[in-house]
Amino acid sequence: MNHSVVYFKSQFRKTLEFYLKKPGRLEERTYVILPETLEGVPCVDSDSDIINWWRLPGYIAVKLTLNEVCDLLTNRARIPLWVKVKEQDDGIIIIHTCNRYRKWKDVVNHHRENNATFAPFIFDNQLPIQFDPSLERWGLIRKLFWQRGLSLSERSIYQQSPLLYSEVSTFFERYFEGNIFYPGAYNHFHPGEMRYSHLVMEYDRRNNRFIVFENEKATALKQKKVKYASSNLSNTLHYYLQHEKQYCIEGVQIEIDEEIPFELNEQKSSFKSFFKRKFGIIKNIFTFASRN
């Protein structure tokens, strides 16, 4: 096992056992990762900058186990430069992380001037952050659209209170503040894989518009097949959800709580009319054939 991973897990357990009033079985506690920023990355010059300086865990603002936290925060053999820990009144343990990651030796050196005993962990019950149901719903939307899968207990939340289109729209407004494509790694997956998306949304910052194009590799001779374009994110999102998933993501139905744009309703109606005409023609042919 990598030194950074071993070091991180050891320090994490030591911090919890020392500071928590009633640690109990740490494996049975509930943990939530809340980074210093929830979305977006700064401008960097290379992939190495992204790896060494800035990254976000795969799961944010969702309930996790101790091992899941350790696995998520020790990816690529680096760990956060600092991790602040807080125990909420309801017993949930908040993990507030720095978005900059370093090798464990660099982390120890960074904390040496203060107290490296628990580095990179800093226990602070006065942290002005709180994990509540509204933040959990945001985290589940992120997990659903990024990882394309929720656990049974997570799905039950949407059975009690349906996932609303307005929630999804708000999520993507924030998402496109720091991202260009959705899915971000759309060309890393293949048809048939759970995270594959036939359509891709892109934010064209230069022209301040959103487009939806088919997920194909564009070349000099083969440009993107743009299916829809609009300066309005909500319209674009409606088009994507309607044509990619019929407003249903991995079994979670999105309840439309606002009016669908007129132009998209027209497209939907036109498709239905076309289908009815085709079906009617076929039906008439069979009727005629049966009579003769």
Tell me the per-residue pLDDT of 153-205, one tens digit each, with 9 for 90 and over. 999 999 999 999 999 999 999 999 888 999 988 888 888 888 889 999 999 99
Task: Locate all alpha helices (DSSP H) within the chain, ordered by sequence.
Answer: 3-19, 47-53, 66-73, 104-111, 133-147, 152-160, 165-175, 233-240, 262-291
Size (the chain), residues: 292
- Residue of 39, 92, 23, 98 lying closest to 64 (CA atoms): 92
pTM summary value: 0.79
Identify the pLDDT of residue 278. 45
Ranges of the chain with pLDDT below 50: 41-46, 48-53, 220-221, 266, 268-290, 292
Identify the pLDDT of residue 167. 96
Q: What is the DSSP letter of 77?
A: G
Identify the pLDDT of residue 57. 82
Where exactly are the structural domains of the chain?
3-131, 152-260
